Structure 1
Amino acid sequence: MLRRRRNPDRTARRIDAFVGTLVALFMLALLALGTFAAVQAVTRANTESIYDLLAEADLTGADMPVITIGVRDGLPGIAERRPDGTYKGFDVDVALAVAKYLKFPPEKVRFASIKIGRRVEMQGQEGSRFVPVDLVVAAFSITQPRKDEGVTFSEAYLYTRQAVMTLADYDGTLQSEGDLRGKKICTLTGSTAEPILVENEITYIGRHTLNDCIAELRNGKVTAVRSDAAILAGFIVRDPGDFKAHDIGPSAWERWGIHVGHTTVPVSEARRKLVDAALYELVRSGEWQRLYDAYFSRAQPVVGEDVQVAVGQPPTIAKPGFRE
Structure 2
Amino acid sequence: MSQASEPSPAGPAPAAPPSPRTARTRQIRLVGLIVALAVLAAALVPIVLAMGPPTRDQLLEDAHLKGKQQLVIGVKDDQPGISLKLPNNTWKGFDVDIAYMIAGYLGFDHSQVRFLPIESEDRARRQARDNDGFVTVDLVIASYSINAKREEEGAVFSASYLHTEQSVVTLESFKDQVSSLEDLAGRTVCSLTTSTSIQRLAEAGAKPVGRNRISECFQEMYDGKVEAVTTDAAILAGFVTGDRAGVDGQRFPVLLKNVKPLKHWDIGSSPRERWGVNTGPNKALRDLVDLALYESAMDENNSTWENAYNANLRWQQEYNLPQPVAEQQQPDPRKVEVRQWPWERIALPPPAHPGSPPPPTGPAARVGWRGRGRRSSGC
- Shorter-chain-normalised TM-score: which range? 0.7 to 0.9
Number of residue pairs matched?
282
Query: What letter corresponds to residue 281 of structure 1 in structure 2?
Result: E
CA drift at 1:93: 0.6
Query: What letter corresponds to residue 310 of structure 1 in structure 2?
Result: A
Give me the identity figure in percent.
40
Provide the C-alpha distance between the structure 2 equivalents of 1:118 and 1:66, rounded to a whole number of angstroms: 21
Query: Are residues 222 and 116 of structure 1, via their aligned partners in 2, closer, same or farther at CA, if it must alter by over 3 Å?
Result: same
Write the mapping of 1:231-242 to structure 2, written as runs, cut at 5 A: 231-240=235-244, 242=261
Provide the C-alpha distance between the structure 1 equivalents of 2:86 and 2:307, rounded to a whole number of angstroms: 22
Q: Which residue of 2 aligns with 1:17?
A: none
Q: Which has the larger radius of gyration?
A: 2
CA drift at 1:152: 0.7
* CA displacement, residues 236-295 of structure 1 (integer Å, 9 cap, x when unaligned): 112457111001123311000000004xxxxx1111100000111222312111211221
SS of equivalent residue, structure 1 residue 213: helix
Write the mapping of 1:54-93 to structure 2, written as runs, cut at 5 A: 54-61=60-67, 64-93=68-97
Q: Which residue of 2 aligns with 1:300?
A: 317
Does 2:271 correspond to 1:255?
no
Q: Which residue of 2 aligns with 1:321?
A: 337
Query: What letter corresponds to residue 88 of structure 1 in structure 2?
Result: K
* CA displacement, residues 219-239 of structure 1 (integer Å, 9 cap, x when unaligned): 111111011000001111124
Provide the C-alpha distance between the structure 2 equivalents of 1:244 and 1:56, rounded to a whole number of angstroms: 48
SS of equivalent residue, structure 2 residue 168: strand
Provide the C-alpha distance between the structure 2 equivalents of 1:184 and 1:47, rounded to a whole number of angstroms: 53
CA drift at 1:200: 2.4
For 2:114, which of 107, 110, 115 is the aligned residue? 110
Provide the C-alpha distance between the structure 1 equivalents of 2:271 and 2:53, rounded to a whole number of angstroms: 37
Stretch moving more, 234-243 or 150-159:
234-243
Write the mapping of 1:1-324 to structure 2, written as runs, cut at 5 A: 46-61=52-67, 64-240=68-244, 242-262=261-281, 268-283=282-297, 284=299, 285-304=302-321, 306-323=322-339
Provide the C-alpha distance between the structure 2 equivalents of 1:86 and 1:250, rounded to a whole number of angstroms: 34
CA drift at 1:65: 1.7
Query: What letter corresponds to residue 79 of structure 2 in structure 1?
Result: L
Provide the C-alpha distance between the structure 2 equivalents of 1:127 and 1:253, rounded to a whole number of angstroms: 35
Provide the C-alpha distance between the structure 2 equivalents of 1:201 and 1:142, rounded to a whole number of angstroms: 25
* CA displacement, residues 141-179 of structure 1 (integer Å, 9 cap, x when unaligned): 000111111211000000000001011122311101210
* CA displacement, residues 58-90 of structure 1 (integer Å, 9 cap, x when unaligned): 1112xx221100001110010011122221110
Query: What letter corresponds to residue 146 of structure 2 in structure 1?
Result: I
CA drift at 1:124: 0.7
CA RMSD of aligned residues (A): 2.2
Provide the C-alpha distance between the structure 2 equivalents of 1:229 and 1:195, rounded to a whole number of angstroms: 17
Provide the C-alpha distance between the structure 2 equivalents of 1:47 and 1:143, rounded to a whole number of angstroms: 28
SS of equivalent residue, structure 2 residue 278: strand
Q: Which residue of 1 aligns with 2:357?
A: none
Provide the C-alpha distance between the structure 1 equivalents of 2:87 and 2:223, rounded to a whole number of angstroms: 26
Provide the C-alpha distance between the structure 2 equivalents of 1:254 and 1:118, rounded to a whole number of angstroms: 19
Please, which runs of 5 or more residues in structure 2 have no aligned partner?
1-11, 13-36, 245-259, 341-379
Q: Which residue of 1 aligns with 2:20?
A: none
Q: Please say if residues 82 and 92 of structure 2, whose CA atoms lie closer than 8 Å, have aligned partners that are also in contact.
A: yes
Provide the C-alpha distance between the structure 2 equivalents of 1:228 and 1:66, rounded to a whole number of angstroms: 31
Higher strand share: 1
Please, which runs of 5 or more residues in structure 1 have no aligned partner?
1-11, 13-33, 263-267
Query: What letter corresponds to residue 288 of structure 2 in structure 1?
Result: L
Provide the C-alpha distance between the structure 2 equivalents of 1:211 and 1:319, rounded to a whole number of angstroms: 36
Stretch moving more, 183-192 or 234-243:
234-243
Provide the C-alpha distance between the structure 1 equivalents of 2:199 and 2:157, rounded to a whole number of angstroms: 21
SS of equivalent residue, structure 1 residue 111: strand
* CA displacement, residues 76-127 of structure 1 (integer Å, 9 cap, x when unaligned): 0100111222211100010011011001111111110001111011011123
User: What TM-score does the superposition give when structure 2 sets the normalisation length?
Assistant: 0.70
Q: Please say if residues 186 and 205 of structure 2, whose CA atoms lie closer than 8 Å, have aligned partners that are also in contact.
A: no
SS of equivalent residue, structure 1 residue 48: coil
